[in-house]
């Protein structure tokens, strides 16, 4: 079982077109706080990321925002976080989020969310970590990405076991269950990722 003290949440700096996205973001923040799981996120007050952080803080949780200096005015750095880390660039943001997290969760989002999700999967494929990565496929949001992965596999660019680098769930209960069932990344017998 994977230990979960801190969850890194990747999600949009926009609220999205469907009200359900905000509801699931708020539920995630609240549930993390209730379970004593700290949230690491992009540090903004806007969009889904702001909703996750606000819900966690309101429920008494610990939140760490990590934001590049150039996004402070654009994404409105969250000064009410338990901790706000200002870094110089996007690369440092992703590295700091990685270092502080026991697991990763992707909610709906745009290009930035997709970038973060793909990069953390790439690091896992290359054997740089073996932490759980879970995509919450609320209302089929991630289905087009899975179709692309299937196409890449059919064209010989993805191995079948690359699809096992992440879990897909439909809700917050599924997220916590997937992380709980993930093998402990510190096990000496964990598989080598190639």
Q: Where are the domains of the chain?
A: 6-181
User: What pLDDT is recorded for position 9?
Assistant: 98
- pLDDT of amino acid 191: 43
**pLDDT at residue 186 in the model:** 58
User: Would you state the pLDDT for residue 22?
Assistant: 96
What pLDDT score does 37 carry? 98
- pTM of the complete model beyond 0.95: no
Which residues in the chain come in under a pLDDT of 70? 1-2, 75-81, 185-194
**Sheet containing 63-68, strands listed edge to edge, beginning at the edge strand earlier in sequence:** 83-87, 63-68, 38-41, 6-10, 103-106, 133-136, 167-169
The CATH T-level fold of domain 6-181 is Rossmann fold (3.40.50)
Distance separating alpha carbons of residues 60 and 94, to the nearest angstrom: 25
Query: Which pLDDT tens digit goes with each residue over 44-72?
Result: 889 999 999 999 999 999 999 999 998 87
Tokens describing residue 140: 């089929």
Q: Is 149 helix (H, G, I), strand (E, B) or coil?
A: helix
């Amino acid at each position: 079982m994977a230990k979960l003290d801190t969850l890194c949440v990747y999600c949009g700096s926009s609220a999205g077109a469907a009200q359900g996205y905000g509801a699931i973001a708020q539920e995630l923040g609240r549930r993390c706080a209730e379970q004593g799981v700290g949230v690491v996120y992009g540090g903004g007050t806007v969009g889904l990321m702001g909703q996750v952080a606000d819900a966690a803080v309101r429920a008494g949780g610990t939140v760490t925002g990590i934001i590049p200096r150039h996004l402070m005015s654009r994404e409105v750095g969250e000064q009410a976080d338990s901790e706000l880390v200002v870094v110089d660039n996007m690369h440092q943001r992703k590295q700091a989020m990685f270092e502080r997290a026991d697991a990763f969760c992707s909610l709906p989002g745009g290009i930035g969310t997709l970038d973060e999700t793909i990069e953390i999967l790439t690091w896992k494929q290359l054997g740089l970590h073996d932490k759980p990565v879970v995509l919450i496929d609320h209302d089929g949001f991630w289905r087009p990405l899975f179709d692309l992965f299937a196409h890449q596999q059919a064209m010989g660019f993805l191995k079948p076991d690359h699809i096992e680098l992440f879990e897909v769930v439909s809700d917050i209960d599924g997220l916590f269950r997937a992380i709980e069932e993930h093998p402990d990344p510190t096990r000496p017998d964990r598989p080598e990722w190639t």
